[in-house]
């Protein structure tokens, strides 16, 4: 505060320059947001209330808000499935990523950077290729399938591909780095002495984790689950490649409406509904987790 | 909970305690006893093994060899959370997600103590911060965080409280104030405090007993006055305050005192205060014990002539002189300014004298500069 008031004592001319500068610096970002965020959203909303015109791919604005009702009623199964798969994948990713991030943050020593590169390494190949690779891993001749039959977790007669299991596994795998990296960065910021202090104050390893490490890593848990859940809920590649007609997610519906049936209004209504639904869920989640108080 | 955290008490005994890392030995065969209820300081330069010693007592570091006892209870391999020991960490290590109240209550809750609120309130009163109970640690100043760190530890009434450079992060004025406060708290609650520091003034202000550590070993142990007046090694003489150490040889061995030849001039050293093993000796004298006078005036006691003032620093209460002796060594002299303006100037030829009883003798094989450079390195 003292610093700010000191600045305001400067001469009027430099003050004018100063007050103008922040807006100038904001300008490129605002222009970008206008063209690549605001315009598409408005187009999306406006498309969502149109009705088919004369030719294919032509639509007239009739403000038919019933489009939303129709779209939601027809696709409610896929909506729920999307959130169900995304939730399971997020929980699985958290269970896998937390120990991994913990090990990298506290136990990896000089291997830390190598391990971090390995976490990011899958991004060097295409998302689609990696998902197709999972089809082979889980296929009858794949190592994943053989390993699970060897462990007697599944019988050799069963099949893993084209199933809900495969879709969730694909989602979990594909978004794992988005879970691991925020977890790592919030764990890494914890002063290890607070954990020593906890041990010094009569907490055993488990209590230390529950009372100190986990609460201090909550910002990472929240960031990681959001970065996993949001794209997973809207994803259609995994369901397309690893699923079957009974595992279609809302992304698949939007994709089909838009590109195959050429029903832009329904696709737009579904997209907008998905956005709003996720926004509401995320807001409730952040409120509930109370992480805004942390650091 | 049935463990040592409530039952063990008594003197702390370290026997042959050793901690070796892959490339060096941090603590080397350390044996010492810390009496129950004392304020004990481990003093030494960084890397001398004092913090490693503390961490072994806290259970945060596994000793390579040796044992740690509190009274009759062996805690050498006990898990840290089972020890009746609490630590005030160097940067306090308060839990940033918990309120001050919950920080202080942490240890009590883990042990399932009933009257948590009462005990926390009492200890917050003791550190004079009861109004901050609902704040978060990051909303507190450094000095307040420091007091909360102390409160969080002493609320558990440990048999032993460890303080790891607890005042290192505070500015000088606050540090002086906290030294007095910590000493007062220790007297008030009567726990055993083990305090690790590199600041000799801090150790001397607070501790009943100081152990000076160097390279994993204890150089000397004793009361602050004893260490200052009777250093047994050059390292202690230089690390604890400043010393003038002059090489000489013992000429005659009287029953009361030794006569030592210092580059042709003879001085007396009390026999009881010499730790020389043969005729080679380092004669030690503290700068404030030296008297400085013009060459022309007469001097009594031990006298060294032929000095030239090289530098004069006037620092209010006293004046520091740097005197070049005929044999090329520079000696430090601190004179109280009780007569006003210092009468002597740079370039004056002077005579140094002092009462023979203030002289101490170290073994001649010692390195006269050991420990003297460490002060500067340590000051942040």
B166 and B220 assigned to the same domain: yes
State the smallest CA–CA distance between residue B107 and chain A in angstroms: 5
Q: Which residues of B touch A211 (CB under 8 A)?
A: 106
Nearest to B97 among A193, A197, A215 (CB): A215
Q: How confident is the model at residue B6 (pLDDT cuts 50, 70, 90)?
A: low
User: What pLDDT, in 10s, does the model give residues B137-151?
Assistant: 999 998 899 999 999
B117 and B43 assigned to the same domain: yes
Is A43's pLDDT higher than 90? yes
A146 and A241 assigned to the same domain: yes
Round the average pLDDT of chain A to a whole number and report it: 87
Q: Among B3-12, B297-306, B337-346, name the one with the lowest average pLDDT.
A: B3-12
Q: How far is Cα B86 from Cα A28, in angstroms, rounded to an integer? A: 55
Q: Which residues of B touch A294 (CB under 8 A)?
A: 97
What is the pLDDT at residue A147? 86
Q: How far is Cα B65 from Cα B15, in angstroms, rounded to an integer? A: 9
B96 touches chain A (CB under 8 A): yes
User: What pLDDT, in 10s, does the model give residues A258-286?
Assistant: 888 888 999 999 999 999 999 999 889 88
Contact B90 A294 (CB under 8 A): no
Q: Is B367 left (phi over 0), alpha (psi -120 to 50) or beta?
A: beta
Contact A201 B86 (CB under 8 A): yes
Residue A69 vs residues A65, A72, B354, B367: alpha-carbon distances, Å? 7, 5, 103, 91
User: What pLDDT, in 10s, does the model give residues B44-82?
Assistant: 988 888 999 999 999 999 999 999 999 888 999 999 999
State the smallest CA–CA distance between residue A206 and chain B in angstroms: 12
What is the pLDDT at residue B342? 58
What is the pLDDT at residue A5? 45
A225 and A278 assigned to the same domain: yes
Contact B87 A200 (CB under 8 A): yes
Rounded to the nearest 10 degrees, the angle between the axes of helix A66-102 and helix A264-289 is 40
Most confident of A53-57, A205-209, A291-295: A205-209
Contact B86 A207 (CB under 8 A): no
Domain's final residue, options B229, B255, B286: B229
What is the pLDDT at residue B38? 92
Phi and psi at A49, nearest 5°, equal -110, 15
B25 touches chain A (CB under 8 A): no
Beta strands in chain B (DSSP E): 12-20, 25-34, 39-43, 65-70, 73-74, 85-88, 160-164, 192-197, 209-214, 217-222, 244-253, 257-262, 265-270, 280-285, 291-294, 302-315, 318-324, 330-336, 349-354, 360-363
Nearest to B81 among A191, A202, A215 (CB): A202
Domain's final residue, options B194, B229, B264: B229
Nearest CA in chain B to A201: B107
Residue A140 lies in a domain: yes
A141 and A190 assigned to the same domain: yes
State the smallest CA–CA distance between residue B122 and chain A in angstroms: 18
Nearest CA in chain B to A192: B93
Most confident of A59-68, A130-139, A282-291, B36-45: B36-45
What is the pLDDT at residue A142? 81
Q: How confident is the model at residue B4 (pLDDT cuts 50, 70, 90)?
A: very low
A86 and A35 assigned to the same domain: no
Q: Return the percentage of chain B with pLDDT > 90, whole number.
A: 58
Q: Average of pLDDT values for A80-87?
A: 94
Q: Which residues of A touch B156 (CB under 8 A)?
A: 201-202
What is the pLDDT at residue A230? 94
Q: Which domain holds residue B57?
A: 4-229
Q: Which domain holds residue A5?
A: 1-48
Do the beta carbons of residue B269 and residue B313 sit within 8 Å?
Answer: no
Starting at the edge strand found earlier in the chain, the sheet holding B12-20 runs B25-34, B12-20, B65-70, B73-74
What is the pLDDT at residue B340? 57
Nearest CA in chain B to A216: B97
Chain A residues whose C-beta is within 8 A of a chain B C-beta are 191, 193-194, 196-204, 207, 211-212, 215-216, 294-295
A3 and A32 assigned to the same domain: yes
Nearest to A271 by CA among A15, A54, A6, A79: A79
Residue recorded with tokens 């202000």: B205
Token pair listed for B37:
């209820």
Nearest CA in chain A to B152: A201
Most confident of A89-103, B61-75, B328-342: A89-103
CATH of the domain at B15: 3.40.50.300
A35 and A151 assigned to the same domain: no
What is the pLDDT at residue A224? 94
Residue A58 lies in a domain: no
Do the beta carbons of residue B166 and residue B86 sit within 8 Å?
Answer: no
Nearest CA in chain B to A204: B81
Do the beta carbons of residue B285 and residue B273 sit within 8 Å?
Answer: no
Do the beta carbons of residue B203 and residue B43 sit within 8 Å?
Answer: yes
Nearest to A199 among B81, B96, B152 (CB): B81
Q: Return the percentage of chain B with pLDDT > 70, whole number.
A: 95
Q: Provide the pairing of β-strand B85-88 with B160-164.
A: parallel
Q: Average of pLDDT values for B315-343?
A: 85
Question: Around Cβ A79, how many Cβ atoms within 10 Å?
Answer: 19
Q: Is the dihedral of CA A246, A250, A251, A255 positive or negative?
A: positive
A194 and A279 assigned to the same domain: yes
Round the average pLDDT of chain B to a whole number and report it: 88
State the smallest CA–CA distance between residue B83 and chain A in angstroms: 8
Helices of type H across B190-339 = 200-206, 224-229, 234-239
Question: Around Cβ B134, how many Cβ atoms within 10 Å?
Answer: 10
CATH of the domain at B275: 2.40.50.140
Nearest to A193 among B85, B93, B107 (CB): B93
Q: Is the dihedral of CA A283, A285, A288, A294 positive or negative?
A: negative
Is A41's pLDDT higher than 60? yes
What is the pLDDT at residue B7? 58
B298 and B223 assigned to the same domain: no
State the smallest CA–CA distance between residue A289 and chain B in angstroms: 13
Q: Which residues of B touch A216 (CB under 8 A)?
A: 95-97
Q: Which residues of B touch A204 (CB under 8 A)?
A: 79, 81
B69 and B95 assigned to the same domain: yes
Q: Return the percentage of chain A with pLDDT > 70, whole number.
A: 92
Residue A92 lies in a domain: yes
A214 and A118 assigned to the same domain: yes
* pTM (two decimals): 0.79
Task: For residue A36, give the DSSP letter.
Answer: I
A156 and A26 assigned to the same domain: no
Mutate to test the interface with A, among B22, B51, B108, B110 (most CBs of A within 10 A): B110
A141 and A229 assigned to the same domain: yes
Report the domain count for chain A.
2
B81 touches chain A (CB under 8 A): yes
Q: Which residues of A touch B58 (CB under 8 A)?
A: 200
Nearest CA in chain B to A196: B60
Contact B97 A216 (CB under 8 A): yes
Is B299's pLDDT higher than 90? no
User: What pLDDT, in 10s, does the model give residues B162-197?
Assistant: 999 888 778 888 888 888 888 888 988 888 999 999
Domain's final residue, options B167, B199, B229: B229
Q: Average of pLDDT values for A181-199?
A: 94
Contact B86 A203 (CB under 8 A): no
Cα B324 from chain centroid (whole Å): 30
A42 and A144 assigned to the same domain: no
Nearest to A212 among B59, B95, B107 (CB): B95
What is the pLDDT at residue B315? 84
CATH of the domain at A131: 1.10.3720.10
- Count Cβ–Cβ pairs < 8 Å, chain A vs chain B: 66
B56 and B80 assigned to the same domain: yes
Q: How far is Cα B368 from Cα B246, in angstroms, rounded to an integer? A: 8
Is B94's pLDDT higher than 90? yes
Residue A80 vs residues A224, A228, B350: alpha-carbon distances, Å? 22, 17, 97
Is B211's pLDDT higher than 70? yes
Nearest to B80 among A191, A199, A216 (CB): A199
Q: How confident is the model at residue A6 (pLDDT cuts 50, 70, 90)?
A: very low
Is A295's pLDDT higher than 70? no
Q: Per DSSP, what are the bridge partners of residue B315? A: B318
Do the beta carbons of residue B128 and residue B185 sit within 8 Å?
Answer: no
Contact B60 A194 (CB under 8 A): no
Q: Average of pLDDT values for B202-208?
A: 91
Is A169's pLDDT higher than 60? yes
B220 and B253 assigned to the same domain: no
A181 and A262 assigned to the same domain: yes
Q: How confident is the model at residue A12 (pLDDT cuts 50, 70, 90)?
A: low
B265 and B223 assigned to the same domain: no
What is the pLDDT at residue A60? 84
Report the domain count for chain B.
2
Contact A204 B79 (CB under 8 A): yes
B129 touches chain A (CB under 8 A): no
Residue A203 lies in a domain: yes
Whole-complex ipTM = 0.80
């Amino acid at each position: 505060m003292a610093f700010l008031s000191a600045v305001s004592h400067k001469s009027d001319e430099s003050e004018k320059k100063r007050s103008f500068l922040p807006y100038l610096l904001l300008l490129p970002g605002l222009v970008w947001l206008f063209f690549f965020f605001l315009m598409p959203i408005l187009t999306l909303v406006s498309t969502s209330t149109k009705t088919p015109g004369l030719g294919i791919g032509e639509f007239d604005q009739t403000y038919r808000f019933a489009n939303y009702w129709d779209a939601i009623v027809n696709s409610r199964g896929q909506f729920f499935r999307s959130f169900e798969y995304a939730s399971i994948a997020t929980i699985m990713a958290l269970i896998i990523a937390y120990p991994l991030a913990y090990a990298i943050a506290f136990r990896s020593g000089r291997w830390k950077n190598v391990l971090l590169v390995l976490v990011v390494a899958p991004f060097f190949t295409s998302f689609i290729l990696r998902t197709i690779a999972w089809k082979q891993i889980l296929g009858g001749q794949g190592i994943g399938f053989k390993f699970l039959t060897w462990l007697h977790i599944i019988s050799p007669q069963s099949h893993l591909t084209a199933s809900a299991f495969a879709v969730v596994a694909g989602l979990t795998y594909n978004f794992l780095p988005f879970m691991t990296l925020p977890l790592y960065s919030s764990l890494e910021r914890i002063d290890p002495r607070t954990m020593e202090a906890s041990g010094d104050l009569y907490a055993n390893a488990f209590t230390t984790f529950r009372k100190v490490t986990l609460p201090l890593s909550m910002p990472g848990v929240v960031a990681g689950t959001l970065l996993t859940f949001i794209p997973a809920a809207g994803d259609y590649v995994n369901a397309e490649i690893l699923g079957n007609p009974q595992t279609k997610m809302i992304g698949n519906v939007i994709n089909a409406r838009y590109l195959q049936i050429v029903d832009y209004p329904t696709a737009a209504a579904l997209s907008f509904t998905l956005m709003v639904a996720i926004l509401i869920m995320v807001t409730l989640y952040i409120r509930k987790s109370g992480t805004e108080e942390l650091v | 909970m049935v463990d040592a955290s409530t039952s063990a008490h008594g003197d702390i005994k370290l026997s042959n305690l050793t901690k070796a890392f892959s490339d060096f030995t941090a603590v080397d065969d350390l044996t010492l006893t810390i009496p129950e209820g004392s304020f004990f300081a481990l003093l030494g330069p960084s890397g001398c093994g004092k913090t490693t010693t503390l961490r072994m007592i806290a259970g945060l570091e596994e000793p390579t060899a040796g044992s740690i006892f509190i009274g009759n209870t062996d805690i050498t391999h006990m898990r840290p959370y089972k020890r009746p020991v609490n630590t005030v960490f160097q940067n306090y290590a308060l839990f940033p997600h918990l309120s001050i109240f919950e920080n202080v209550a942490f240890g009590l809750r883990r042990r399932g103590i009933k009257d948590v609120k009462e005990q926390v309130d009492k200890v917050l009163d003791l550190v004079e911060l009861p109004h901050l109970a609902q704040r978060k640690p990051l909303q507190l100043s450094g000095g307040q965080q420091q007091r909360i760190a102390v409160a969080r530890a002493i609320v558990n009434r440990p048999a032993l409280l460890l303080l790891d450079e607890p005042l290192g992060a505070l500015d000088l004025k606050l540090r002086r104030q906290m030294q007095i406060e910590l000493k007062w708290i220790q007297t008030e609650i009567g726990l055993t405090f083990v305090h690790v520091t590199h600041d000799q003034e801090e150790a001397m202000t607070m501790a009943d007993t100081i152990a000076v550590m160097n390279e994993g070993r204890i150089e000397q142990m004793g009361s602050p006055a004893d260490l200052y007046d009777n250093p047994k090694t050059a390292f202690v003489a230089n690390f604890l305050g400043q010393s003038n150490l002059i090489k000489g040889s013992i000429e005659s061995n009287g029953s009361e005192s030794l006569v030592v030849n210092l580059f042709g001039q003879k001085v007396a050293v009390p026999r009881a205060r010499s730790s020389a093993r043969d005729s080679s000796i380092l004669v030690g004298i503290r700068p404030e014990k030296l008297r400085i006078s013009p060459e022309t005036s007469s001097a009594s006691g031990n006298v060294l002539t032929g000095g030239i003032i090289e530098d004069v620093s006037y620092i209010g209460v006293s004046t520091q002189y740097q005197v070049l002796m005929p044999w090329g060594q520079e000696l430090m002299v601190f004179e109280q300014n009780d007569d006003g303006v210092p009468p002597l100037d740079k370039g004056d030829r002077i005579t140094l004298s002092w009462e023979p009883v203030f002289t101490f003798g170290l073994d001649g094989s010692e390195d006269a500069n050991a420990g003297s450079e460490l002060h500067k390195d340590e000051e942040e």
